[in-house]
Amino acid sequence: VPKIRPKQVFSNQLQPRASSFKVAVLGAAGGIGQPLGLLIKMSPLVSALHLYDIANVKGVAADLSHCNTPAKVLDFTGQSELANCLKGMDVVVIPAGVPRKPGMTRDDLFNINAGIVKTLVEAVADNCPDAFIHIISNPVNSTVPIAAEVLKQKGVYNPKKLFGVTTLDVVRANAFVAQKKNLKLIDVDVPVIGGHAGITILPLLSKTRPSATFTDEEVEKLTLRIQNAGTEVVEAKAGAGSATLSMAYAAARFVESSLRALDGDGDVYECCFVESELTELPFFASRVKLGKNGIEAFISADLQGLTDYEAKALEALKPELKTSIEKGVAFVHKQA
């Protein structure tokens, strides 16, 4: 008789963990929320997964709860259940809001998503002000400053724990560069700085690891492709939304990195859009070192020794990024 052994999708799910964490996803029934919930449910570092949406989240939670992994899944529907969803959370991920359709910019989503993010972050401030907050909802260049202002108004702002999720830009840069240069995917790491919209997305190809050389034409083409990759997906989906699966993958990576940092791993680095003093802009995406208390260090070395192309692109993105940041800040102050 063959020996029957329990099988898991990933073998490390059976390894006992010293600690585990509680994660909430707000917007959990959406295109990103559903696959993101699945990926988080697969993490051995998660003991509780709270799923919140304004509708349709019961079925998602029932479905996910049948996966035989440790995280306990609970569902929460509507504003009246939001506080209970958030109490005790270590990480709150926010992909709530509307996605783009062809012909739209991310900023075209501002009018709807600004209010959604504001309301959700108010609840985070009231119920789990110490959590890491991951903002996915677009336009990230404005929604992160909105979140910061809300947290300030509530007196609980910790800039080391508020993150705009730009991991998808890094994931794309890594994928496209590996493909172009025939590199082993697992090795490739391209820092992406600036923000998360059009020309504010600036991949630093000169800082690619392992080091790779690019012709001027390759730099131009790869940079444009990374900057327009979101639009590439929006157009391919032809009205059915924007990136959801690659975004869920990227967001799950950022969640996993945050949990490893909370777990005491001293070697966690990610690019993200955060309050920053690396440039004259109040928020800026760069590589940061994550630790138990959030951001431990900003990796300023990435901004040194830029190529002429990168240095010019960095200057060129600043006015747009500044405008988007100020628009977010003004939105919260107007409502006060």
d(CA 332, CA 159): 17
Q: Is 333 a catalytic residue?
A: no
State the residue for tokens 């190809």. Answer: 205
Per partner kind, with CB cut-offs from 5 to 8 A, the member of ligand NAD, ligand LMR, none near residue 137 is ligand NAD
For ligand LMR, the binding residues in 152-181 under the rule CB under 6 A are 168
Q: Which of 88, 241 has the CB closer to ligand LMR?
A: 241
Per DSSP, the residues of 93-110 read EE--SPPP-TT--GGGGH
Contact segment (CB under 6 A) with ligand LMR among 141-149, 206-214, 229-237, 262-270 equals 229-237
Query: What distance in Å separates the CA atoms of residue 295 and residue 160, rounded to the nearest whole number?
Result: 5
Query: What does the DSSP assignment read for 269-294?
Result: EEEEEEE-SSSSSSEEEEEEEEETTE
**CB of 97 or CB of 194, closer to ligand NAD:** 97
Which residues would be at the binding site for ligand NAD (CB under 6 A)? 26-27, 29-33, 53-55, 95-100, 109, 113, 116, 120, 136-138, 140, 165, 168, 196, 241-244, 247
Residues belonging to the chain = 336
d(CA 29, CA 36): 10
Choice among 50, 66, 196, 333 that is catalytic: 196
Distance CA 191, CA 197 (A): 16
By a kind-dependent CB cut-off of 5 to 8 A, residue 53 interacts, out of ligand LMR, ligand NAD, none, with: ligand NAD
Q: Which residue is nearest to ligand NAD (CB)?
A: 30
- Per CB under 6 A, 138 contacts ligand LMR: yes
What minimum distance in Å lies between the beta carbon of 55 and ligand NAD? 6
Among 118-126, 148-156, 228-236, 308-316, which window interacts with ligand LMR (CB under 6 A)?
228-236
Classify 228 as helix, strand or coil.
coil
Residues 254, 258, 263, 266, Cα dihedral to 10°: 90
Question: Would you tell me which residues interact with ligand LMR (CB under 6 A)?
Answer: 99-100, 106, 138, 168, 230, 233-234, 242-243
Residues with catalytic annotation?
196
